[in-house]
Amino acid sequence: MGTSIFTEMTELARSTGAVNLGQGVPELPSPGALLKDVAEAVTSGSNQYPPAVGFPALREAVAAHQLRRYGLDYRPQGEVLITTGATEALASAVLALCDPGDEIIAFDPCYDAYAADARLAGARLVAVPLALDGADFVLDVDALRRAVSPRTRVLILNTPHNPTGKVFTADELAVIADVCTQHSLTVITDEVYEHLVYGDARHLTIASLPGMRERTLTISSAGKTFNVTGWKVGWICGPRPLVAAAGAAKQFLTYASGTPYQEALARALDTVDAWAGDLRGVLTRNRDLLSDGLTRAGLLPFHADAGYFLQADVRPWGYADGVEFCRDLPERAGVVAIPTSAFYVSADAPAWLVRFSFCKREESLRMAVDQLIKAQ
Ligand code: PMP
Ligand code: GLN
């Protein structure tokens, strides 16, 4: 496994002093009460291993969150597992569910951990490209049906989606659910951006579709919701046998982590709805500022209904290849972005797509936009 694109591009931003619109690392504040609660937990001595399955109050808060938001009822004991970020949740789930030679379906472009996790398990990631439709990415139903083979074991879904900002629609989820029930596939759904959905778009969770709860592991994390990506507290909800299998693998990845964070997050999750409403307001303004700025800089941004990122077609600047564009960009405009080809498993990626992140301070975005406009 090579160096991750996030490491490479963040290092490029550091060494050149460019504005970092590459890695999705937020420059935004976190809830004050949450920070205070962590400090208090640390100083009052909550510093030893938590239970391997996670601190009970956080498992209860996660279960209450799923019931309140999605009408999904999970037992805090046995159907909720706290993990070291969504990253460990994904690795545990894939290692638990896949044997060497199995196939995993994911939609291309996809988060880079999916292919790496497949490799760790000796499985093969079969990528189904999302189709480009104007400024949107849409499910290619025929390609999905063609991708299923007798070796397919798991489908990894990510909605809201990184890197595109796509929110899978009710119709798309219904088709995916149909394919998964027809072929007895287990779904791992990565929903770390579940609270960061803008405008009229609505996040739907596939576990709530008929026949899906029993075959779905739903993963989320505190990192994006509370702007605490360095804390690495995530979770999995699902039926008892699948959660137990992921928990068995998880024991030998980290065993457990983050006691004071887990303790404080249990309280924060109970009041997440008010916090997330404000954060969505900030991120909506940021998305619009960046999208408008990219257009004024002569690039062609796509729609993003959610998450941290915007895609742009960089061909109007004379680049057929986003990697070349991103290599030149720090020098040319003092900005770092990430070539979207880094998120494609299949060879036929649209090479001219580049990902820009907008989870930044307004002044960083304004500076980046001004510099891009001057550099065009
Ligand atoms: N999945 C997706 C789609 C992500 O964007 C991220 C954020 N890097 C992760 C998983 C990892 O989340 P965490 O930081 O909680 O491990
Ligand atoms: N999720 C973030 C991104 O996509 C950061 C990932 C990472 O640093 N591993 O940019």
Per-residue pLDDT in tens (0 to 9) along the chain, 376 residues: 778 888 888 899 999 999 999 999 999 999 999 999 999 999 999 999 999 999 999 999 999 999 999 999 999 999 999 999 999 999 999 999 999 999 999 999 999 999 999 999 999 999 999 999 999 999 999 999 999 999 999 999 999 999 999 999 999 999 999 999 999 999 999 999 999 999 999 999 999 999 999 999 999 999 999 999 999 999 999 999 999 999 999 999 999 999 999 999 999 999 999 999 999 999 999 999 999 999 999 999 999 999 999 999 999 999 999 999 999 999 999 999 999 999 999 988 899 999 999 999 999 999 999 999 999 9
The CB density around residue 18, as the number of other CB atoms within 10 Å, is 22
- Of all ligands present, the nearest one to the C-alpha of 87 is 1
Whose alpha carbon is nearest atom 2 of ligand 2? Answer: 24
What pLDDT, on the 0 to 100 scale, is given for residue 347?
85
What pLDDT, on the 0 to 100 scale, is given for residue 3?
84
As a whole number of angstroms, the distance between CA 284 and CA 307 comes to 10
152 pairs with which residues across the strands? 103
Ligand 1 mutation target, pool 62, 84, 224, 232, most atoms within 8 A of CB: 224
- Of all ligands present, the nearest one to the C-alpha of 358 is 2
As a whole number of angstroms, the distance between CA 348 and CA 120 comes to 24
Where b means 16+ CB within 10 Å and e means fewer, 73-110 reads ebebeebbbbbbbbbbbbbbbbbbbbeeebbbbbbbbb
Tell me which residue of 201, 194, 257, 211 sits closest to 53, measured CA to CA: 257
Give the nearest ligand 1 atom to 190 CA: 1
CB contact set of 304 (below 8 Å; sequence gap of 6+): 164, 165, 166, 198, 287, 291, 310, 311
Tell me which residue of 205, 203, 214 sits closest to 180, measured CA to CA: 214
What's the CA angle centered on 310, arms 323 and 293, to 5 degrees? Answer: 95
As a whole number of angstroms, the distance between CA 203 and CA 121 comes to 30
As a whole number of angstroms, the distance between CA 37 and CA 326 comes to 40
Torsional sign, CA 117, 163, 103, 74: positive
What pLDDT, on the 0 to 100 scale, is given for residue 46?
96
As a whole number of angstroms, the distance between CA 320 and CA 216 comes to 39
CA distances from 192 to 40, 229, 347 (A): 26, 11, 27
Tell me which residue of 327, 325, 321 sits closest to 376, measured CA to CA: 325
Give the nearest ligand 2 atom to 111 CA: 4
Whose alpha carbon is nearest atom 12 of ligand 1? Answer: 86
Q: Provide the angle, in degrees to the nearest 10, between the axes of the packed helices 259-270 and 56-70.
A: 30
Give the nearest ligand 1 atom to 84 CA: 16
* pTM: predicted TM-score of the whole model, two decimal places: 0.97
Pocket of ligand 2 (CB under 6 A): 4, 6, 23-24, 162
Distance 317 CA to ligand 1 centre (A): 31
Report the 3 state secondary structure along the chain.
Answer: CCCCHHHHHHHHHHHHCCEECCCCCCCCCCCHHHHHHHHHHHHCCCCCCCCCCCCHHHHHHHHHHHHHHHCCCCCCCCCEEEECHHHHHHHHHHHHHCCCCCEEEEEECCCCHHHHHHHHHCCEEEEEECEEECCEEECCHHHHHHHCCCCEEEEEEECCCCCCCCCCCHHHHHHHHHHHHHCCCEEEEECCCCCCECCCCCCCCHHHCCCCHHHEEEEEEHHHHCCCCCCCCEEEECCHHHHHHHHHHHCCCCCCCCHHHHHHHHHHHHCHHHHHHHHHHHHHHHHHHHHHHHHHCCCEECCCCECCEEEEECHHHCCCCHHHHHHHHHHHHCEECEEHHHHCCCCCCCCCEEEEECCCCHHHHHHHHHHHHHHC
Strands of 234-237's sheet, edge to edge? 80-83, 234-237, 216-221, 186-190, 152-158, 103-108, 124-129
Distance 112 CA to ligand 2 centre (A): 9
What pLDDT, on the 0 to 100 scale, is given for residue 244?
98
Q: Provide the angle, in degrees to the nearest 10, between the axes of the packed helices 322-333 and 5-16.
A: 20
